[in-house]
Chain A
Amino acid sequence: MNEALIEFNDVVKIFPKKDGGEQRVLDRVNFAIPEGKTTVIAGRSGQGKSVTLKLILGLMRADGGQVVVGGENVAALGKQGLNAMRTRFGVLFQGSALFDSLTVYENVALPLRERTGKKEDEIRAIVEATLAELELSGHESKFPAQLSGGMRRRVGLARALQLNPEILLFDEPTTGLDPVMTQEIYQLFARTQAKSGFTSIIVSHDIPRVFSLADQIIVLDRGVMDVFPSTEAIQRSEKAHIQEFVSTTMGALYQSWLVE
């Protein structure tokens, strides 16, 4: 396996509860994300998948252990270091996090305008190409509030892809999209990955399909992470909660996908 790009060493994340107790979202979690590979993080709702992504980006601090990105401990990075680290990422937030007072075009153009010295007509060409690829042509001058949920997701995706990131962090990229669009997004991933060979981390509930992209699958359950090299390995796992996960979340869907 290649060198690990992102590593979690005994990471603990605790949220205080109102009654004074605590919720351990991540409990001494260990995993490594190899370079140039696709990792899928799966798990039931509320198990800490989005929190994991925020820890990687340094948007949240771990309460124990180390988050290491590119050999550097995220908690020890200063503002400059964090910025340098973050420029390597393309991020799609679960709620898309579009700038709601900017148009679709301005949203997608923002990273190019702010981070590169490109001329406006160059930027326009790039943005329009990306929007066309995601079937958003003709919606450039709309505002996020005027879009459907799936369209917002795609604009977020377009924005995340702008700076040719080395590492993609996608929080549920296809939730709210129809099956055809979902398929196309995955094909887009495959194409871009073949072209630029990025590392990607995808959080998804779209289990059978996203697993076909994955080089590694992480299942998160009650603060514990299990890492599997393939879908078959998940099925072969003897841990009770994994089997439960397989039968409840993947069961029927997975079977139908195997038959295909």
Chain B
Amino acid sequence: MLLEKVRILGNTAIYLLRDLGGMGVYLLHILGGCGKRPFRFRETLRQTSFIGFGSLFVICCTALTTGMVLGLQGYYSLHKFGAEGMLGSAVALSLILELGPVLTALMVTGRAGSSMCAELGIMRNTEQIDALECMAVDPFRYLISPKFIATLISVPLLTAIFDVVGIFGGYLAGVVLMGVDPGSYVEGMRNSVTNHDVNLGIIKSFVFAVLVVWICTGRGYFVQQIRGAGFGAESVSRMTTQAVVLSSISVLVFDYLLTAVLL
């Protein structure tokens, strides 16, 4: 009985290590695919439009509401201490350092990551990836690397837009609705946000972009090798769910790690 449990534990550990190793090699293949000729410029553009431009509306909505909530919440908290002048800096710092990169990555995961995973999973299940390999067309160069590059371009840009729209949302709630002095909102922001903060936000958004596209495409690509995935349509739907969950959790975990290391 105990032996059986140890066996299951050992098996699971080996499986997890192998899965992780496989994902590591997979990432190397994606990077290799980015360097291979001919580069699929149009496909990369198309993916950038889908992942980036396509997410613009969602990102703006999220950013505006998040910014407004921050503005309102911040106003009430700071008002107690008579420190409304700090509102601009509070809103801007929370957005640039945390909420902008994290929420953008989560929205992109939900919108584009899930669809990338499902697309690759279906292609795997219907032998389309095998067919590519049989034509000696590298599936990484052809399919996955364009998505990788597109995500790497889109997520940092979306994060920047998120930050700007969010700060504007904070302005709306704090200055326009609650009557904080506009000069102090902008000035407070200018005085407290440093280059280092902005850089940290950018680094985070790049790391999150890699996590999202790596995990989401990976779950789709390996749909037939993952334990408990099942088969056919069900396996694709399960892997898509798993991709979204895994990618969201890793974004949050890495957010903590990056903050701890770099701040």
Binding site for B on A (CB under 8 A): 54, 57, 59, 82-84, 86-87, 89, 91, 93, 95, 97-101, 110-111, 114-115, 163
Q: Range of interface residues on chain B? A: 10 to 19
CA of A163 to CA of B135, assembled, Å: 9
- Whether B137 lies near A115 (C-beta < 8 A) is yes
Binding site for A on B (CB under 8 A): 119, 122-123, 126-128, 130-131, 133-138, 142
Among A59, A99, A114, the one with the most B-chain Cβ atoms within 10 Å of its Cβ is A114
> Which secondary structure characterizes the binding site on chain A?
mixed
> Which secondary structure characterizes the binding site on chain B?
helix
Known: A100-B126, A114-B142. A93 touches B131 (CB 8 A): yes
CA of A97 to CA of B122, assembled, Å: 11
- Whether B137 lies near A97 (C-beta < 8 A) is no
A86, A97, A163: the one contacting B127 at CB < 8 Å is A97
Residue ID in chain B nearest A60 by CB atoms: B130
CA of A93 to CA of B123, assembled, Å: 14
Write 24 A-B pairs (CB below 8 A) sorted by A numbering.
A54-B130, A59-B130, A59-B133, A59-B134, A83-B136, A83-B138, A84-B136, A86-B133, A87-B135, A87-B136, A91-B131, A95-B126, A97-B126, A97-B127, A97-B131, A98-B128, A98-B131, A99-B131, A100-B122, A100-B128, A110-B137, A111-B137, A114-B135, A115-B137
CA of A151 to CA of B127, assembled, Å: 18
CA of A84 to CA of B134, assembled, Å: 10
Shortest C-beta distance, B256 to chain A (Å), equals 37
- Whether B137 lies near A91 (C-beta < 8 A) is no
Chain B residues, Cβ within 8 Å of A93: 127, 130-131
Shortest C-beta distance, A173 to chain B (Å), equals 15
9 A-B pairs closest in CB distance: A97-B127, A97-B131, A83-B136, A91-B134, A87-B136, A114-B137, A86-B136, A111-B135, A93-B127
